[in-house]
Amino acid sequence: MGLAFPTRRTRKGSHQGIPSHQATMSTIARAYPMCGDAPPTTHSSIDDIRAILSGTCPHAVSAEVEEANKNSRSHVLAAKEEVGHPEIIHNATVPILVEAALQREKGSFLTETGALSVLSGAKTGRSPKDKRVVDEPNSTDNVWWGPVNIKMKMDAFMINRERAIDYINTRERIYVVDGYAGHDPRYRVAVRVICVRAYHALFMRNMLVDLTPEEAKAPFTPDLVIFNAGSFPANRYVEGMTSSCTVDLHLGRYSKRFGRTWAEMVILGTQYAGEMKKGILTLMMYKMPLMGQLCLHSSANEDPATGNVTVFFGLSGTGKTTLSADPRRHLIGDDEHVWTDTGVFNVEGGCYAKCIALSEATEPEIFRAIRFGAVVENVVYDPVSRKVDYDDISITENTRCAYPLEFIPNAKLPAVGKHPNHVILLTCDGFGVLPPVSRLTSAQVIYHFISGYTSKMAGTEQGITKPIAAFSACYGEPFLVWHPVKYATMLAEKLEQHNATAWLLNTGWIGGAKGRRCPLKYTRAIVDAIHSGELEKSPLATDEVFKLNYPTKCPGVPDEILNPSCSWANKAEYEATQAQLAMLFRRNFAKYQAMASAEVLAQGPDGEEIDLSTIDMNAVALG
């Protein structure tokens, strides 16, 4: 075991060999990879991990029974067995994790650029219907209970927790990653991930913020512990289980052994790594409002000359990642941020980008980030050249890549910025009736932020001629914990307090579902005009149905593009489609109207109810 393990990466990507450390613990002897420029992993760190993995004793026994158990023959024999003492690979470096994945995990290989390609098993995306939150006294009154946050009893959580720990303890080797969620030390959350796949460890190593060498020398005290036993199914007979998959979050469980409270996440029945990332976001969505700060499912970038910050909200496919990765601006982050009393910070230490149809020509920064240290999921490759075919979606359309933030040349580190100057709500309107860009009032921000409208793309599959509408509150409904109105109200207050402009940017269709998507060059021109201030100077026209005020002039964009009705050959068809979408907006917002003010409710589109028989309701997805 006299191996020399490399250190964790530094921000400059350098590595340095250090001597291995020979662990001497009870009946087992293991060597553990070290981290950073810190000394070898201390016994207390490993002891803490083993203590966490020792599970809980739910029922107290008498002193007489405890003494009898201690001296029983079965207890003596069990103590000699290795079960329950897996080798712990703690804060390993990239080479160690890549080697482990290639050697031990079926379907893993290196791409031609050096990235680790992996398979996530049967689940190639999140399972939102299997996400549960423990109903406990300290948080129950704060949680927006329902289909987004499914109530879970404490007993059911503890059974799943014990099942996950038992499975982890049967493995020969496990991986532990310590890091932070958040670049601002005042509000960051210390996260400890315990998992059985090197792929998951490398993924989280990329997505968490690294410990500094000084922090790595000190004891690590987690605020969140993730037990990822996704390779093992849930027990369907546990109360509340609806499948073999469950993703359970306890917002604050008190540990008698450690004498403190922390959050816990248990994953069973899914190996999709994104569950860990979004579980952390869900916890941040809960904790930050408690501290008076606003957590946002958004991207953000910064003007290097002025420091002006723009925040982009948007669901998948709206352009959130693409528009924030502007080579002329510094990238703060691509997905999760917190707006604090001093500015914004990125929750993550890396990026998790979609790979479908990825090319160097269209998204050069992301394409070039897929190199050694990055993880690509569920992609198809040439077996000889190892070149990835990003157009091949035979495994899943949700192909992904996770890489450290510093792999983007213009990334800002630490990933913090000033208060945003501009907030852009992104939508991809497949109906083709919303203006490409609209200036929003404070009340309109609340209405459209709560609505979280976009649509799946019409015309991408044979026979599909109608758009599929989707509404996701706050552009991140699956990750919300509080009621959407709370987040929206906090956002409006921030915008007013810091005099930031707000825009609704439509990256969707021109001329309806049978038309074409708005060219990216026009969308970028609109964003440039927002940044330069030119768009604020433009005269405005008003969409009488959706009550949106949209500019009639924008540098680099034809005037007729800015008015959606001009792109329709059949005006009657345009008005009918507009009325259909307006009705879907009204119906979706009905579930929030009890907590919304009259001013906010007035921002919704006008119109009469339409006979449902005239609409293909299979083409509508609410929430």
Per-residue pLDDT tens digits for 301-335: 999 999 999 999 998 889 898 899 888 999 999 99
Residue 248 and residue 160 in contact, taking contact as beta carbons nearer than 8 Å:
yes
What six digits make up the tokens of 304? 């290097």
Both tokens of 409, joined, read: 């040349």
Report whether pLDDT(212) > 70. Answer: yes
What token pair was written down for 420?
A: 């945003």
| Contact present, 455 and 412 (Cβ < 8 Å) | no
- In a 13 Å sphere around the CA of 279, the CA atoms on its Cβ side amount to 31
Of the listed ranges 82-86, 185-189, 225-229, 388-392, the one predicted with least confidence = 82-86
pLDDT digits (tens, 9 = 90+) for 596-620: 999 999 999 987 766 545 544 344 4
Task: Kindly indicate the confidence band of residue 70, based on its pLDDT and cuts at 50, 70 and 90.
Answer: confident
pLDDT (0 to 100) of residue 607:
75
Annotation marks residue 297 as catalytic: yes
Active site residue 111: no
Burial class (CB in 10 A: 0-12, 13-18, 19+), 421: buried
400 is catalytic: yes
pLDDT value, residue 369: 96
| Catalytic residue, candidates 21, 131, 400, 456 | 400
Residues 300/310, Cβ–Cβ less than 8 Å: yes
Please indicate whether residue 151 or residue 326 has the higher confidence score (pLDDT).
151
Q: What is the pLDDT of residues 393-435, one digit of tens each?
A: 999 999 999 999 999 999 999 999 999 999 999 999 999 999 9
Residues 369-395: tens digit of each pLDDT: 999 999 999 999 999 999 999 999 999
On the question of pLDDT at 446 being above 60, the answer is yes
pLDDT tens, position by position, 16-52: 333 333 332 222 223 333 333 333 444 568 889 999 9
Token match 């950073």: residue?
36
Question: Tell me, what amino acid is at 71?
Answer: N
Q: Does the structure show a pLDDT above 80 at 209?
A: yes
Q: Is 135 a catalytic residue?
A: no
Residue 427 falls in the annotated catalytic set: no
Question: How far is it, in rounded angstroms, from Cα 335 to Cα 61?
Answer: 48
Cα–Cα distance, 179 to 220 (Å, whole number): 9
Which region holds residue 605: left if phi is over 0, alpha if psi is between -120 and 50, else beta?
beta
With both helix axes pointing from N to C terminus, report the angle between 198-207 and 274-290 in degrees, rounded to the nearest 10.
40
Q: How high does pLDDT run on average in the chain?
A: 88
Q: Is 30 a catalytic residue?
A: no
The answer to whether the CB of 190 falls within 8 A of the CB of 224 is: yes
Query: Is there a cis peptide before residue 436, judged by omega within 30 degrees of 0?
Result: no
pLDDT at site 46: 86
Beta carbons of 530 and 503 less than 8 angstroms apart: yes
Predicted confidence band at 71 (pLDDT cuts at 50, 70, 90)? confident
pLDDT of 465 > 70? The answer is no
pLDDT digits (tens, 9 = 90+) for 554-584: 999 999 999 999 999 999 999 999 999 999 9
Return the beta strands (E) in 445-593 as ranges: 453-456, 468-471, 501-506, 509-510, 516-517, 540-543, 548-551
Active site residue 278: yes
Active-site annotation holder among 297, 419, 439, 456: 297
Please give the Cα distance from 31 to 27 (Å, whole number).
14
Give the whole-angstrom CA distance, residue 365 versus residue 38.
Answer: 32
Choosing from 210, 248, 326, 335, which is the catalytic residue? 335
Q: Which of 316, 441, 538, 565 is catalytic?
A: 316
Inform me whether the pLDDT recorded for 468 exceeds 90: no
C-alpha distance from residue 71 to each of 25, 62, 64, 146 (Å):
22, 15, 11, 49
Q: Is 516 annotated in the active site?
A: no
- Exactly one of 197, 200, 278, 287 is catalytic; which is it? 278
Average pLDDT over residues 58-66: 76
Query: Could you say which of 8, 9, 21, 126 is catalytic?
Result: 126
Residue 71: both structure tokens together: 């001296």
CB of 481 within 8 A of CB of 142? yes
Residue 155 or 612, more confident:
155
**Which domains are seen in the chain, by residue range?**
89-291+350-404 (3.40.449.10), 419-603 (3.90.228.20)
Residue 283 — φ and ψ, nearest 5°? -65, -40
Question: What are the E-state strand segments in 202-293?
Answer: 224-229, 246-255, 260-268
Q: Which of 45, 231, 246, 321 is catalytic?
A: 321
- Answer yes or no: are the C-beta atoms of 206 and 98 closer than 8 Å: no
